[in-house]
Amino acid sequence: MVYLNNIIVYSNNYEAYMYYMQMVLERLREYKLYINLKKCLFYITSINFLGFIVSVNGVLMEKSQVDAIRE
């Protein structure tokens, strides 16, 4: 049994995003891997991931991480 915890798909525009999502979902189906739709987020502009904020503006550290370093 394999657990795959995170898949992040990034693109600069909606059309490219939909193309990449189709490719990812096809690969998951091909290898009989399943996703839990209740845990999925689609087409969001930013995400908190491993202590970083990944967005269209780039990758930034979380404010709490920066504050901890400053203290």
pLDDT single digits (tens) 3-45 = 778 899 988 889 999 999 999 999 999 999 989 999 999 999 8
* Partners of 29 in beta bridges: none
Dist. CA 24–CA 36, nearest whole Å? 14
- pTM metric for this prediction: 0.72
What would the two tokens of residue 62 be?
């979380």
Secondary structure percentages of the chain, helix, strand, coil, to 5: 40, 15, 45
